[in-house]
A = this chain, B = another copy of it.
Amino acid sequence: MDRKNKQGLTEKEFLEQYDPSQFDRPSVTVDMLVFSIDEEEVKNYRKLPKKQLRVLLVKRKDHPDIGQWALPGGFVRTSENFEEAVARELKEETNVENIYMEQLYTWGEVKRDLRTRIISVAYMALINSASQNLMGGSDAEDAKWFTLDSQVIKEKKVVPENCNNTKKLVKLTLKDEENEITSLIEITRSLQGKSIKETRQIIKNDGLAFDHGKIIEYGIERLRDKIERTDIAFSLMPELFTLTELQKVYEIILGRELLTANFRRKISRMVEETDEIKKDGDVGHRPSKLYRFNQNWMVEEPNY
């Protein structure tokens, strides 16, 4: 088509004279929320190791928020798709590849970064514990895993008779051997038109850079939602695992205990029994069978 615009230009001519720098543009970054599951070393005779949810953070080496901990990420190169940018950064930081990844949300509040208008396209990634200690890229000196704990501190109705106007205070606690980071996020639900609108606000930030507390909190909620409705949890598991280990992962993410019998019934179609049995540190109780993820669970009929 050689159709011309108001200035009398064809598409080809238009594209040749197009100068993006005539508009004031925001900067665009990708940030990654990388989750994995940690096994706490417990030497108690007989007891199973406790599991914990972990998040990868890097220490900022420059302004703004120098010295604070941030989600790994960086500016999007103009020649690179988001997924490529995320994968590249993740490879550099943790040496992990070929993992589950999904776009979380795009944060773009005008004042979220002191430098200039910076928009952050956040991704969530899940990696399994087997590949946990593989950090060691060039950028990785200050990349560390932090155990993550999220707790609802307070929940209240703003207008007593209207239950669609609530505020919830969530406290995030991130720890490693040396550091303890906390962040208080206030989540407000209010009626927008006829549907509920959720907004997050940082109340207190002790060690976390930018608005990354919001991103982490939002990521946990997404993870919670998806673990109940999809097979996303298996991205956190190693090739072989016991059903109890799997249950612990669900329990940590959901933040509540599950009844074993019901849990097993629910996930039964997603797993495949193997001949193997968990050996290593097992002591003093019935050994458990090892299972693997059943890729085709969506389309197999139940056996009755």
Contact = CB atoms under 8 A, between A and B. Distances in A.
Contacts of A21: 21
A9 interface: yes
A261 interface: no
B5 A61 contact: yes
A110 B115 CA distance: 25
Nearest to A231: B195
A116 interface: yes
B15 A64 contact: yes
Interface stretch (A49-57, A94-102, A208-216): A94-102
A274 B28 CA distance: 50
Contacts of A193: 98-101, 126, 235
A194 interface: yes
Contact of A76 (B6, B9, B15, B108): B108
Interface of A, helix, strand, loop or mixed by DSSP: loop
Q: Number of copies of this chain in the oligomer? A: 2
A297 B253 CA distance: 28
A1 B117 CA distance: 23
Given A20-B116, A163-B298, A192 B61 contact: no
Contact of A110 (B66, B81, B99, B100): B81
A106 interface: yes
Contacts of A268: none
A191 interface: yes
B101 A14 contact: no
Given A15-B63, A20-B27, A81-B109, 16 more contacts: A3-B67, A6-B62, A11-B64, A15-B64, A15-B114, A24-B77, A24-B78, A28-B108, A80-B110, A81-B110, A98-B193, A100-B192, A100-B194, A101-B193, A103-B106, A164-B298
